[in-house]
Amino acid sequence: MGDNNISKYRSEVIEKEINIEWIMSAIICQHYFKKVILPFLLEVLYDEYFSFALKRRILEKIVKDFDKKKLQDLNRLNTIRNYFAHCNQQIFEGPGIPTENNKEKVVDPQNLDKSIDFKMLHGEFMGITGELEKYLAGIFIKIGGVS
- If the chain, 147 residues long, is cut into consecutive pieces of 10 residues, what is the mean pLDDT of each piece? 74 94 97 96 95 96 96 95 73 52 54 73 95 97 92
pTM: 0.81
Q: Where are the beta strands (DSSP E) in 28-146?
A: 90-92, 104-108, 111-115
Residue 59: which region, alpha, beta or left (left: phi > 0; alpha: psi -120 to 50)?
alpha
Closest CA to 76 of 16, 146, 141: 16
pLDDT at 83: 84
pLDDT at 109: 53
